[in-house]
Amino acid sequence: MTTRTRVGPADARSWLLVNGARPDLFDERYASRADQVVLDIEDAVDPARKDEARDGVVAWLGDADRPAWVRINDRSTPWWERDVAALAGLPGLAGVVLAKTEAAEHVTETFDRLGGATPVLALVESALGIEEAVDIARARGAFRLAFGSGDYRRDTGTSADDLAMAYPRSRLVVASRIGDLPGPIDGPTVSTSHPVLREQSAVTVSLGLTGKLCLDPDQAPVINEVISPAPSDVAWAQSFLADFEARGQVIRDGSDLPRLGRARKIERLARTFGVQPA
C-alpha cells in the first residue's frame, strides 16, 4: 500500500472516524483526504463484537507504514483494560482517543498502561468532563482535547444550537490554552449536506477550535478547506511580515505584536497545509 504525507496530529484538521468492526473499510478510509484516521472500537461497535473489532484493529496496526489512531472504550468499562493491553506497542498505533474522559487520572492511567510514550487524545463528552477540562488538559500524557458533542447533548439536554453549544466548546479552547495543548477538535456534523458542514466548520473556527471529527471521507476536504487559513489571510500575513522585516523589525505601536503573532501563525499553517496566497 502506498503512503502519503499527512498533516501531523498537532495541526490536523479532519479526524475521520472509521467503524472498527469494518476492517474492509480500513484501507479505503486510510487513503482518504482526512488528516488523521481514527479506528473506532467504542460507540461504533456493538458490545457483542468488541473483541472481534479489537482483534481486527490490532491486526491492521501491525504495519508501521500506515499509522492510525484508535478510539478506545472509556475507563469505567471492562473493555478499557483489554483495549490498552492489546494496543500497547503496536507499530501502527499513532495514539488513542480516550472516550468519555472525565478526570485527569483517566488520561494518565491510559498513557502509563500504553508504555508512557503513546499520545492520548481526551474525548470530553459530559458535563463533568467539561468542568474538569483544565485538569484533563494538564494531565501527563494529554495530547489534545476533543468534544463529544452528541453525548454531551444527551448528558445535559442541551440543543444543537450554536449558542447553546458555545460554552462547552469555549471551555475546551480555554482549557487547551491553559494546558499548553494544540487547539481542541470539535464534534462531528451528522448532516451529509456540504453547505451545512461548511457553516458548522466555520463556527468551529470562530470559537477557536482547530480540528473537527468527521463521519464520512467526503467531509474531510470541506473541513480541511474551512479550517485552513484563507488565501487572502495568507497574502496579508506575508505582506505584514515583509513590511516588518523591511523596517528592521521595529514595533511601532501596541497593535504590532498581536498582528505579528497572528501573521506568523498564519504563515506556519499555510506552509503546513499548502495554502497559497491569493
Other Cβ atoms within 10 Å of 159 Cβ, number = 10
Backbone angles phi and psi of 32, in degrees to 5: -70, 180
Is the Cβ–Cβ distance between 96 and 118 less than 8 Å? yes
Q: How many residues does the chain have?
A: 278
E-strand ranges in the chain read 14-19, 36-40, 68-72, 93-98, 120-124, 142-147, 185-186, 211-214
71 in a labelled binding site = yes
125 in a labelled binding site = yes
Q: Are strands 120-124 and 185-186 parallel, antiparallel or unpaired?
A: unpaired
CA 58 to chain centre: 22
Residue ranges at the known binding site: 71, 125, 151
Residue ranges at the known binding site for Mg(2+): 125, 151
Residue ranges at the known binding site for substrate: 71, 125
